[in-house]
Amino acid sequence: MKDDRRNQKNRAVPQGRLSRLGQFGRLASGVAGGMMAEGARRLADGDRPTVRNMMLTPGNAARMADRLSHLRGAAMKLGQMISLDAGDMLPPELTEIMARLRDNAHRMPPQQLERVLAKQWGPDWRKRFLRFGATPIAAASIGQVHRAKTPDGRDLAIKVQYPGVRESIDADVDNVATLLRISSLLPSELDIAPLLKEAKKQLHEEADYVREGRFLTLFGELLSDTPEYVIPVVDEEFTTDQVLAMSFIEGRAIEALVDAPQDTRDAAMHLLFKLVMREIFEFGVIQSDPNFANYRYQPETGKLVLLDFGAARPIDPAVADGYKRLIIAALAGDRDTVREEAAVAGFVSAAAISRHREPIDAMIDVIIAQLNRPGKFDFGDRSFVEPLRSHGMDVAADKAVWHIPPTDLLFVQRKISGMALLAARLKVRIDVRALVAEHFAIDKHR
């Protein structure tokens, strides 16, 4: 059993358009077989299965997670985004399975890694290191990370991009979108072309490691006055557009804090939320990928280690200003202004407000009530999620009001939602009003 698992972890990244297309074809065939089996089972039980019900089975989710992990690149990245963005909206079984895409990528076989590094650094690259760890310390969607030491004593983390990932981005995004279409997870009436275009743009940016290095340096400068955050330093000697070398920094997975004392969890999460506020309202640039693997914790110092700035992007000032007005209105308990600002920002369409004013107001009331509860907000109490889901489904049932918010808004909201999901996992309690008061002129004691 152990050997089988070890062999499965070493899987070459499929390269070339036909090779990757074949992987998508096998995935589609496997999912179709799973749907037929689930449909037969439900019919035997007297049910009338929908395409969505047949698609969203643990077996099909496992197939998708395994195949997307094999493909890596844009395919796996989009799967990660779905698993994070859905948050509480996915059934628990699927949430657990899709989480594999965040934590359990396959790694390149040694021979493939050797070819990649020889192309980037030359055939004698090993002579430039005192030690280079053959086994990656992390493997994600676009690259895997190795630890290395130079003859002059530099302890480095070296992120190596999977071969063919950059060239496959556009096709992979289109193929994943097709899978979502045929699975009925995306309605045919919804125009997702602008979102797909933006997703391709961001993924191309994430595959540019020189660009990521610049943002890594920028955030190091922006947070130089805040020692609670630790950011690696780029090592220019070994960095190329497909290899990012940086100082190695020790830290534990942020999710390991789940067993830490309440005060420790609260303090760590307060730092993360404070960072998001500074990114949006002070820096004007945000690291928009909330993948939990991007954050690590140092128990001995209480500091947070920030990793992976490939998804960093500037924030439209209008988006930041819209968030500010929306937050202030919610904390003031002003339902009408929240509704108006949500429409202006693009969270909800004018048609949805006109046709479904009652459930939208009910959702706003739930959010206002939660934000204005006395004392600290308990992120571990998810009792409000079901009312939001229920009212939201009432609106979502009307295909005439479906719309996609502006892409700038989506990427910022993705970061906020990801942090809220992490806070829920860690069951933290935070004084949200006091946190917001640090940035805005509101009464933190109201």
Q: Report the SS3 class of residue 145.
A: strand
Q: What is the DSSP string of 292-359?
A: GGGEEEETTTTEEEE---TTEEE--HHHHHHHHHHHHHHHTT-HHHHHHHHHHHTSS-HHHHHH-HHH
Coil, strand or helix: which one is 240? Answer: coil
Whether the Cβ atoms of residue 208 and residue 312 lie closer than 8 Å to each other: no
**Residue 45: what pLDDT?**
47
Digit-coded pLDDT (tens) for 130-161? 999 999 998 777 889 999 999 999 999 999 99
Which residues does residue 74 pair with via DSSP β-bridges, in sequence order? none
Residues assigned a catalytic role = 289
What is the average pLDDT value for the chain, to the nearest integer? 79
Question: Smallest Cα–Cα separation from 298: which of 341, 254, 339, 263?
Answer: 254
Q: Which of 296, 117, 310 is nearest to 214 (CA)?
A: 310
Name the phi and psi angles at 276, rounded to 5: -60, -40
Report in angstroms the alpha-carbon separations of 243 from 15, 144, 145, 208.
18, 10, 10, 9
| Rounded Cα gap, residues 30 and 64, in angstroms | 9
Give pLDDT, residue 109: 84
Q: Sort strands 229-230 and 243-247 into parallel, antiparallel or unpaired.
A: unpaired
Query: Among 202-211, 220-229, 313-322, 388-397, which is the least confidently predicted range?
Result: 388-397
Q: What is the pLDDT of residue 294?
A: 92
Distance CA 420, CA 431 (A): 14
The pTM assigned to this predicted structure is: 0.78
Q: Inform me whether the pLDDT recorded for 393 exceeds 60.
A: yes
pLDDT on residue 106 = 65
- Write the burial class of residue 77 (CB in 10 Å: 0-12 exposed, 13-18 middle, 19+ buried): buried
> What is the pLDDT, as a whole number, of residue 16?
46
pLDDT in tens, 66-103: 555 544 445 445 544 444 444 444 444 445 545 555 55
Higher-scoring residue by pLDDT: 228, 440: 228
**Which band of pLDDT confidence, cut at 50, 70 and 90, is reported for residue 24?**
very low
Q: How far apart are CA 403 and CA 412, in angstroms?
A: 17
More confidently predicted of 38 and 417: 417
The pLDDT of residue 150: 98
